[in-house]
Amino acid sequence: MIKLLTSYSQQRKDGDLIVPISMDWKHYLLRSELLAILKLKLGAEVHHLALTGATSENILEHIGDERYIIEFFLSIVGKMMDFNQDIAVNQSLLEVLLHQTSQQSHYLASKGVDNFDEYDDSNLRSILRKAGWMRKVYGVFTKEALADDTSTDTLKVYFDTHSEALFELSRLVNEDDISESDLKIMSKEVLIPIV
């Protein structure tokens, strides 16, 4: 996927206003995600296409411009920043998750999400990480912040890697006249919402 995003970015830098869609996206996006992207572009007309049984390739052709795929990912990132981190997975989403990870026979499939206990939640988190729906991010906090503060914080900027957060900590120390001993880096897991 990085290769596709890099290609898109380079074509935009080269001045292309419309970046032709690559059929390789069908390997990274579920049909339901492609329909969500098409809905960003066309609105109500998507229902007609969904009912005609359009293939992933047909949907990509109708999307036509990779900009809509990028907008889709940006909307996910925006929602991720405001997302309540309690795991709220319904039964149909769980089925999609288990199918995506080739674990259709996993015991969670027959348990029912309303009956999950702490052990089940732990297994669900593991499957979410495997599917790429959950990931660890890093943030810069004051030294008084507790580990529990990461689940209720109002911090709006998180970083993908510890080194990026460390760079931000250094920037804050250099630009905002804050002592390095007053700050610390903590991590948390975020659930990437499905649009």
Cβ-contact 99, 33 below 8 angstroms? no
Q: What are phi and psi of 15, to 5 degrees?
A: 95, 5
Q: Is the Cα dihedral 77, 83, 86, 92 positive or negative? A: negative
Distance of CA 101 to the CA centre of its chain: 16
Q: Is the pTM value of this prediction over 0.75? A: no
Q: pLDDT of 128-168, one tens digit each?
A: 888 888 888 888 888 887 766 555 555 667 888 888 888 88
Alpha-carbon gap, residue 37 to 61, rounded angstroms: 12
Q: pLDDT of 64-101, one tens digit each?
A: 888 888 877 777 666 554 444 455 677 777 888 888 88
Residues 6 or more apart whose CB falls under 8 angstroms from that of 73 comprise none
To which residue do tokens 């990132």 refer?
77
Assigned token pair, 4 = 């596709």
